[in-house]
Every structure is written in C-alpha cells, then in structure tokens.
Homo-oligomer: A and B are copies of this chain.
Amino acid sequence: MQYQNDLILRAARGEAVERTPVWLMRQAGRILPEYRAVREKLSGFIELCTTPALAAEVTIQPVDILGVDAAIIFSDILVIPEAMGLPYEMQESKGPFFPKVITSSADIDKLLATDAADHLKYVYDAIELSVKQLNGRVPLIGFAGAPFTILAYMIEGQGSKTFSKARRFLYTEPVLAHRLLEKITLATIEYLKRQVKAGAAMYQIFDSWAGVLPPDQYREFSLRYIKQICEAVPQVPRTVFSKGAFFVREDFTDFPCETVGLDWNMDIAESRKIIGPGKTLQGNMDPCALYLSEDQIRVKTKEMLDAFAGSRHIANLGHGLYPDTDKTKVKCFVDAVKELSVKA
C-alpha cells in the first residue's frame, strides 16, 4: 500500500525522514468532543469497540482533528480474554471488571487459543473500514496486550495497584501460568496476523503492567511471550511498550521488533545508550506536561526532541493521554513536533 504520509513507517524501519512522526496513545478517546458525541449515543465503551462503523469513525477522528501521522484502531486489549472465553464489563469510573476469573487448570482448559481470533471479526472489520476511509493518508496501527498483562486481568479480574493475586499465581502455579500464557500468546499471534491482513501497517504490543514484576520474572513470564509474538508476526513494523520495565531495556537491543516504547520515567539518553542505535525509540513526554500552557508545551516538546535528536524516533507521550486533557493542548504538542523536528 502507498501512503501519502508514511513517515511513521520509515521512522520505524530506521529510514530517512524529513521530520519526526507523531501520534499519541489514547488519541482516539475522551479528549475529543467529537469522540464523546459518538460515545454518548451508545450503551457503553464495549458497544463502541464492537460496532465497526463507529469504531472506524473514532479511529479516524484524530487524523482529521489533531493531524497525527498515524491512526490506531479503536479497540481494547481485553477483547482477547473475551474472545478466549472470559467476558468483561467496563465500569465507567472503575475500569474493566471480569465477573469470572481463572482459578484452576480446568478454567485454562476451557479457554480458546488460536480459535479465539475467529471471534474478533468486528476488529478486522473496523480495521478494513478505517483503512478504506483513511484512503492512504496515514498508516493504521494495530495492537494487542502483552500476554502477561492479559493474564494479570484474567487472574485479578480487575485493575490493581499491586496485582498481587496475579503475581502470586506466577510464583505458586508457574506451570499453569505458562500454560495460560501460551494460550494467550497463540490467540494474540492469530489476532495480530488478521489485523495485519485487514490492513494494519504496523502494530504495538502494550505491556501495561510490566512494571509490577521483578526482572527475572519479567523475562520468564512476559518478555519471552512478547518475543514469540513478534517472531510469529514479522510482516510489519513492531513496537513493544513495556511500561515500567526499565530493568529489561538491555534486552531490547537484539529484540525482534523495530520500535521500543519509553515511558516518562525513562531517561532518553540513558535509554538510547542501553538499547543501542539499532531500534527506533517511541515516546516519551509526560502526559501531565499537556496541562501546561501552549508556550510551555512547546518548550517541553523541544527538550524531548533534542534529547532524541540524531537517532531513530517516533514522538509520543510516555503513557496514554489523560481524559481531561484539553484538545488544543494535544494539537499544540502535535504541531510542535512537526515544526520543531524538521531536518535542516
């Protein structure tokens, strides 16, 4: 496929770019009044995810409104456990909640693996529609949760500060944990393959709860499964965002991915030094910096760009946009990246 703007693909592959590409995690979401208008008509978040025409509409909104260099399909990492056999609810103020959780070997036996991907046709449809409507303007990013983060929700049943139940499971039931992670991995591989087939031009793996594990456990229970996914779906550029996992940055030097996401705790120069020159780095402005004035946002953006300067970079925040961020401030960040990163 030919894109009018393929900056992000070139940046991911380490090719020459005229300026730094930019997008934002959670760019399709509550920060846009246009999104809220669509969302208000529906029963809930899950209805929006499962209605391809509307999911495509909100996927494209940030391209039109914010001028970002990529769309990311509007969906949720928790569609995978749902498709595997564990449905969830999205509680407005509290986040996701699983009425049923995994507590035994029999529970794991009942879950679908590769076949789970058959139940996610609404995602592939939304991707196809989005790609069609984007009409080559910018690439579309697909995504999935990392197996460990999915396991964490499957065991815990909801968000948690410590995820101590999920971590207890890794310690006390390592065999079951690996069996569950393998199933999630198989489901995710097939899911991402079909996203790519539907038109995703790159994908990102979100390991949102990476930061709760000690380094050895992170390698054993998370990183190896992310690796397995990346190796199985190498057709498009791959981004891995292990939030909080500062302690495995060196593992990314030779990792089968093109881009590594940095959170806002990770020092840019240090991360580049640890990871080496061979990967594109993505990030990492603090989402809270978008509460500043526009002048100050430009200063912060410049600081970030300078810190990445001369190396492979996709501009983004170090975490998802906070829902109460002013849309004009988000636009200011996007514009600042575009203006300030132009190569002389």
Contacts and interface: CB of A to CB of B under 8 A. Distances in A.
Interface of A: 159, 161-162, 164, 167-168, 170-172, 211, 213-215, 217, 244, 246-247, 264-267, 270, 286-289, 291-292, 296, 318-319, 322
A288 B164 contact: yes
A270 B319 CA distance: 26
A267 to B, nearest CB: 5
Contacts of A322: 162, 164
Contacts of A288: 164, 167-168, 170-171
Given A167-B286, A286-B167, A322-B164, A267 B291 contact: no
A172 B291 contact: yes
A214 B292 contact: no
A211 B322 CA distance: 18
A171 B291 contact: yes
10 contacts: A164-B287, A164-B288, A171-B296, A172-B292, A211-B244, A214-B318, A215-B265, A217-B286, A246-B265, A247-B265
Residue in A159, A162, A168, A289 whose Cβ sees the most chain B Cβ within 10 Å:
A168
Given A167-B288, A168-B288, A172-B291, 7 more contacts: A171-B296, A211-B265, A214-B265, A215-B265, A246-B246, A247-B266, A247-B267
Contacts of A171: 286, 288-289, 291-292, 296
B164 A265 contact: no
Number of copies: 2
A318 B167 CA distance: 14
A121 B318 CA distance: 44
A217 B265 CA distance: 10
A227 to B, nearest CB: 20
B246 A168 contact: no
A247 B246 contact: yes
B164 A161 contact: no
Contacts of A270: 247
Contacts of A246: 246-247, 265
Contacts of A264: 214
Interface centre among A267, A270, A318, by most B CB within 10 Å? Answer: A267
A64 B14 CA distance: 62
Contacts of A266: 247
Contacts of A215: 265, 267
Contacts of A164: 287-288, 322
A244 B244 CA distance: 9
B265 A213 contact: yes
A21 to B, nearest CB: 22
A65 B159 CA distance: 34
Contacts of A162: 319, 322
Contacts of A214: 264-265, 286, 318
A158 to B, nearest CB: 12
A183 to B, nearest CB: 23
